[in-house]
Amino acid sequence: IGICQLVQHDALDAATKGFEDAITEKMGDSVKFDEQNAQGDSNTCSTIINGFVSEGADLILANATASLQAAAAGTSDIPILGTAVTEYGVALGIDDFDGTVGGNISGTSDLAPLDEQADMLHELFPDAKNVGLLYCSAEPNSQYQVDTVKDALEKLGYTCEYYAFSDSNDLSSVVTTAANDSDVIYAPTDNTVASNTEIINNICLPAKVPVIAGEEGICKACGVATLSISYYDLGVATGKMAVKILTGEADISEMPIEYAPQFTKEYNPTLCEALGVAVPDDYTAIAE
């Protein structure tokens, strides 16, 4: 099994580990993993995928959207399972996506209920006026998330502004502008954000601007709260799908995209205390 992971950070690492553990539990040493990391470069994803194709991998795990897009372009024969991909229709350019990709692609989605993330922001910051939406413009699933959250927040009476950066090079200046102009910042499940949380925290914390995050890893590093899934559990679900494909129990072309079984309201105790954010009792503290 070839594993192409876009970049190294807690969420994607956990998904890969869950995937490998689930397969090893069922199939033992009969499966070998070739795990490769593209260090955040979509062109490197393509190179990795082409290597898997030429080596004749039996299955490919595409961890994150850019990996999935590279795999879809690289082979129409080898089964491809995506994980940590938010919306497959957006990622693969499928209009009127009905939940099943078809062909040689299926997988799992890390999409948390975006309207509930907006409700969480409203619950914690009812008096805020301006919300900054911070995301990487090179990630189509990030655009999908901030568009959806913007609609939900505007219905709740907030004024929302996009703060898009193209890569890590312009992140600092964009975050600085967002912190100056926003009462609260929302950051979706975005791989470039997840890889650069220290930069975000070093700007937002001194500016006293709280960040609501799309997932736990980002929240742990620079956010006050999140409605998050377990990426390890998501990886396990993907691994179970892989076992069914490898054993011939299931046909990937008929397998619908699977979603995380549960979501947890979580908060970052350190940053909440530093920013004076009071959190309701139904939130779980993220372990240090």
Measure the CA angle with vertex 236, ends 234 and 237; round to 5°.
65
Nearest-angstrom CA–CA distance, 95 and 266: 34
- Whole-number percent of the chain with pLDDT over 70: 100
- H or E stretch covering 85: strand 80-85
What pLDDT does residue 262 have?
87
Considering only CA atoms, give the Rg of the chain: 19
Residue 249 exposed, middle or buried by CB count within 10 Å (0-12, 13-18, 19+): exposed
Q: What are the tokens at 108? A: 């799992």
Q: What is the mean pLDDT of residues 8-37?
A: 96
What pLDDT does residue 287 have?
83
DSSP state of 182: -
Nearest-angstrom CA–CA distance, 280 and 150: 24
Q: What is the average pLDDT value for the chain, to the nearest integer? A: 96
Nearest-angstrom CA–CA distance, 267 and 187: 15
- In Å, what is the CA distance from 21 to each residue of 12, 247, 287? 14, 17, 23
Instruction: Give the tens place of pLDDT for each residue, 156-189.
Output: 999 999 999 998 889 999 999 999 999 999 999 9
**43 CB neighbour count, 10 Å cutoff:** 10
Contacts (Cβ under 8 Å, ≥6 apart) of 96: 89
- Residue written as token pair 């090893």: 24
Residue 263 exposed, middle or buried by CB count within 10 Å (0-12, 13-18, 19+): middle
Instruction: Give the tens place of pLDDT for each residue, 109-164.
Output: 998 899 999 999 999 999 999 999 999 999 999 999 999 999 999 999 999 999 99
Maximum distance among all Cα pairs of the chain, rounded to whole angstroms: 57
Phi-psi region of 140 (alpha: psi -120 to 50; beta: other; left: phi over 0): alpha
What's the gap between Cα 236 and its chain centre? Answer: 16
What pLDDT does residue 261 have?
81
- H or E stretch covering 131: strand 130-136
